[in-house]
Amino acid sequence: QKEVEQNSGPLSVPEGAIASLNCTYSDRGSQSFFWYRQYSGKSPELIMSIYSNGDKEDGRFTAQLNKASQYVSLLIRDSQPSDSATYLCAVNEDNYQLIWGAGTKLIIKP
């Protein structure tokens, strides 16, 4: 059974600080990794994708991938109250199907 694990939170971070979200996956053969943000009552939206070991930066967001440790993380710098949402980690299986984590609820405190 392929699994993606996330801490459900809530993770509370002061405004302006760095929020660190973590995800582990069970299938060592996985090749594609994604972070989605989901606001309450809305559908998930893709914010980051990463395919190779190392860091990938996009604005205030940095995704980190370590395939040896089967670990993916998302860092949000200069956290804003608008970043408060549930963050879902997803890992590609096959035929474009994704395996989803349970999501981490992030709360940014003003």
Partner 1 sequence: SAVISQKPSRDICQRGTSLTIQCQVDSQVTMMFWYRQQPGQSLTLIATANQGSEATYESGFVIDKFPISRPNLTFSTLTVSNMSPEDSSIYLCSVGGITDTEAFFGQGTRLTVV
Among 46, 55, 57, 58, binds partner 1 (CB under 8 A): 46
Separation of alpha carbons 47 and 73, rounded Å: 13
Contact, 82 vs 26, CB < 8 A?
no
The answer to whether residue 1 forms part of the interface with partner 1 (CB under 8 A) is no
Site string for partner 1, 89-108 (x = CB under 8 A): -x-x--xxxx-xxxx-----
Q: Rule CB under 8 A: choose which of 2, 42, 77, 109 binds partner 1.
A: 42
Candidate residues 32, 53, 66, 80; the one interacting with partner 1 per rule CB under 8 A: 32
Q: Which amino acid is at 110?
A: P
Compute the least distance from the CB of residue 51 to partner 1, in Å: 8
Provide DSSP, 33-99: EEEEEE-TTS--EEEEEE-SSEEEEETTEEEEEETTTTEEEEEESS--GGG-EEEEEEEE-STT-EE
| Residue from the set 13, 23, 34, 76 that interacts with partner 1 by CB under 8 A | 34
Q: Write out the two tokens for 77.
A: 């710098």
For partner 1, the closer of residues 29 and 110 by Cβ is 29
Residues that bind partner 1 (CB under 8 A): 32, 34, 41-46, 49, 88, 90, 92, 95-98, 100-103
